[in-house]
Amino acid sequence: MSAGARPDAIVVGAGIVGSACALELQRAGLRVLLLERAFVGGEASAAGMGHVVVMDDSPAQLALTAWSRALWSEWAAELPADCEDQACGTLWLAQDDAELQHARSRAALYRAHGVQAEILDAAEVARAEPQLRPDLRGALFVPADRVLYPPAAARFLAQRAVDLGARLREGVDVLALDPRSVLCADGTRIDADTVVLAAGVAAARLLPELPIAPRRGHLVITERYPGFCRHQLVESGYLKSAHGASNASASVAFNCQPRATGQLLIGSSREFVGLDTRVDPALRARMLRRAVEFLPGLRRLQALRAWVGFRPATPDKLPLIGRHAALEGVWLAAGHEGLGITTATGSARLLAELVTGRRPSLDARPFDPARYPARPAGGDPLDTSASAHRATAAAAEDGALDVAFPRGHAATSLGGAAFAIEVDGRALRVTPGTTVAVALWNAGLARLRTSVAGNARGPLCAMGICFECRVTLDGVPHQRACLTLCRPGLRVSTT
């Protein structure tokens, strides 16, 4: 699609779900414009674990996750190396006879739905994963489950859409959705017959009536220990502990993933605390104690860092996929909580089928946004017109470039007035909550150095692991831009 052509569909949000939606709509024959306020795969997609798993919290969840995993498997041969795709399988660990019996019931359910699953006894679990504690009773083994690196997978999907003719615009903040149009922060309006909101937690900022709330989770990543574990390991009580906790309490459940880098990614926690981006040391310690209960050898390993992300949660733990009840031409693909990576492929395919009037590949009714009534609060909750959401950003002053974006991994704007920082002697205007890496990225400084192979390198991992985003901050060298929040007057040197 040429730069000036009117799109058939606009997708708001280029995380892994939005990128998948853009690809499926483009493949369906629509001319797609994909808008992202920061950069592709840089928010919740960069903070998640990257599991591609079958889950059975409800029949609808089982249907969507099983289908989505099958679609990911179809992509596997084409995923580039940086997606770190591994079909490592999942072991759901049973600590006692009751959990083992539950595992047997789940195995029968999975097999009845065409999902390969088997039961391992205690000796088989010990042979599969020698680092596990020896008194486990057995496990449910789901061999076709996968693990991948979500930011790279999102970039792959977005690039595939672009290769087919879609347009991608990063650094575009959408302020409002109207029937068949969006209003951007710079005051421009873009029209399209179809507008898809796939902005994760930020979807509720654009459409406050949506029943989506940010559910914070902690993760920890270790140094490289190849072979320490070979499968994704999850305690059998995960669904109850992580997904069934009350809104008033924080929960933890053991989950450990082997990464292609040799690192271990350890989780997880869930809690409703708004958009508080701080790591809770007590909850992190509780989560790690739970992990050590299953993998005692973790005590000997070195952790690199911990971080938090925000899962867009709905009350029934199912995403919103379908037409908005009140805004003509507006469609939703949001509210996936911790299964956005898994279900990105199926959600996007289902959405494209609904938008184009094709027969859905699975029952779409459980995901229909109309299952939730509008929530009145302070007036008409469906007043999302441009007149209700006028842009407030002032024009840049004294040559400063306005970069009003949230920080790069799993956060939204912390609110407050924009302020100036200095980058290589140039004034740069940012908003509270912006990391240095995101500010640099949107100022066109996304590539900071060259690798030994001659490839451009920049703030790639958004987790403080790759060390490719090092800059000098207020005269202090070798600071990681992706972990540092901008503050008024900050002096950044990239040379």
Is 396 a domain residue?
no
**pLDDT value of residue 81:** 95
Domain identity same for 291 and 216: yes
Domain identity same for 158 and 52: yes
Tell which of 335, 369, 390 closes a domain.
390
Is 354 a domain residue?
yes
**pLDDT value of residue 468:** 67
Tell which of 390, 425, 446 closes a domain.
390
Segment 404-422, tens digit of pLDDT: 222 333 333 334 577 889 9
Residue 255, classified by CB atoms within 10 Å of its CB into exposed (0-12), middle (13-18) or buried (19+), is: buried
End-to-end CA distance of the chain: 37
Domain identity same for 17 and 131: no
Residue 334, classified by CB atoms within 10 Å of its CB into exposed (0-12), middle (13-18) or buried (19+), is: buried
Print the domain residue range for 436: 401-493
Tell which of 338, 360, 390 closes a domain.
390
Segment 312-332, tens digit of pLDDT: 999 999 999 999 999 999 999
Tell me how many domains the chain contains.
3
Domain identity same for 42 and 155: yes
Strand order in the sheet with 401-403: 401-403, 426-430, 419-423, 491-493, 470-473, 476-480
**pLDDT value of residue 449:** 58
CATH of the domain at 438: 3.10.20.440
CATH of the domain at 200: 3.50.50.60
Only one residue has tokens 């795969």, namely 41
**pLDDT value of residue 156:** 98
**pLDDT value of residue 373:** 80
Domain identity same for 426 and 412: yes
Domain identity same for 221 and 296: yes
The one-character DSSP state at 185 is T
Domain identity same for 79 and 141: no
Query: What does the block give as tokens for 473?
Result: 């901050």
Do residues 480 and 469 lie in contact, with contact meaning Cβ atoms separated by under 8 Å? yes
Domain identity same for 287 and 160: no
CATH of the domain at 222: 3.30.9.10
Query: What does the block give as tokens for 23?
Result: 């690809």
Sign of the C-alpha dihedral, residues 44, 47, 51, 53? negative
**pLDDT value of residue 461:** 55
Low-confidence residues in the chain, pLDDT < 50: 376-415, 451-453
Enter the pTM of the model.
0.77
Strands 138-142, 491-493: pairing kind: unpaired
Q: What is the rounded CA–CA span in Å between residue 199 and residue 187? A: 20
